[in-house]
Structures are given as C-alpha cells and as structure tokens.
Amino acid sequence: MNLPNKLTILRTILIPFFLIFIYTDFWGKGNAYIAVAIFIIASLTDLLDGKIARKYNLVTNFGKFMDPLADKLLVCSALIALADLGKLAGWIVIVIIAREFIISGFRLVASDNGVVIAASYWGKFKTTFQMIMIILLVLDLPFKYMNIINMAVVYIALALTVISLIDYIAKNYKVFIEGSSK
C-alpha cells in the first residue's frame, strides 16, 4: 500500500476520533481544540495524498475510490454533528450534502463514459470555506462579533456550494445527456 492510500485511510480513521471529541466534554473547551486539530490534520491528509499521488505517479483505483469517499465522510460527519449540536441549521447541511450526491452522480456517469471531470476552482473555494466554517463552528469562539463572522462564513460556504454545483452542471451537462442516451 502506497503513502497516498495510507493517508486516505488515516483520514478515515480520524473521523471517529473527531466525533468523539466534538460530542464529549471530558476536557471542557479543550475538546473543541482537539476536535479541530484532528479535523485539520485529516483535511491536510486530503491535500497531501493527492499531491503525492500525482507527483510520484502513485494513483491507484483504491485511491480514486477511497479519496473522495473519505473526504465526503469527513465533511458530512462534521456537518451532521454540528447540526445535531444545534450549531448549524439542518437545511444547510442538506443542501451541502445534496450537492455532494449530485456531483458524485455526475462523476459516476462521466466515468462510465470514460470522461474524468477535474475539480474546478469554485469547488476548491467551496471546500476551503466549508472547512473554515466547520473549524469556526466547532471552536465556538467567545469573541464579541464571532456570531456575525460565523454566520457570514456559513452563508459564503453555502453560496459557494450552490455556485460550484451550477458551474459543475453548466460545464458538464453534455456528459450527463450523452450518458443517458446510451
């Protein structure tokens, strides 16, 4: 098993630990910091595994399958936990997760047609803001204007989620139409 795949597996293994620290209060506010540290480490493994796999030609079928799955598990687990804890509205979580299902479906159809669809800049901005949003909501910092900042980041992440979906569909709808005509 190569290093990128090990990093992907590590990201998946870190998810339950992230959830344990987000849900428990053993170390008080320290739990939030530990949860965020775990989330950041897991997020960095996503950045590293892809770069390493492409740079050293270590792309595998396992990695192609597990990397996006591990990403979705990490982000969706965090979003669902935040909704469960009352820190994020459920409808926002539904919109974000629905986008992921739609894009995954598009990629599956494209893959069946031998087309690989690369991530766009909108998708990368979306991911960045979703991760910032998750970190801020988990930390729940007690600063004077933090609620306003958190809400702004939530709505920016939500807007980027919708924009990236529209951009993705607009650029790739022919793959879906061609795939459905077979």
pLDDT digits (tens, 9 = 90+) for 33-74: 999 999 999 999 988 998 999 899 998 888 888 988 999 999
Q: What is the reported pTM?
A: 0.91
- Last residue of some domain: 39, 65, 86? 86
Q: How far apart are the first and last CA of the chain?
A: 37
**Does 112 lie in the same domain as 81?**
no
Task: Please count the structural domains in the chain.
Answer: 2
**Does 92 lie in the same domain as 62?**
no
**Does 73 lie in the same domain as 139?**
no
The DSSP secondary-structure symbol of 95 reads H
Q: What is the pLDDT of residue 182?
A: 58
Question: DSSP labels for 52-83?
Answer: HHHHTT---HHHHHHHHHHHHHHHHHHHHHHH
**Domain span holding position 19:** 1-86
**Does 71 lie in the same domain as 97?**
no
How far, CA to CA in Å, does 109 sit from each of 32, 104, 178?
39, 9, 9
Indicate which CATH number applies to the domain containing 67. Answer: 1.20.120.1760
**Does 92 lie in the same domain as 79?**
no
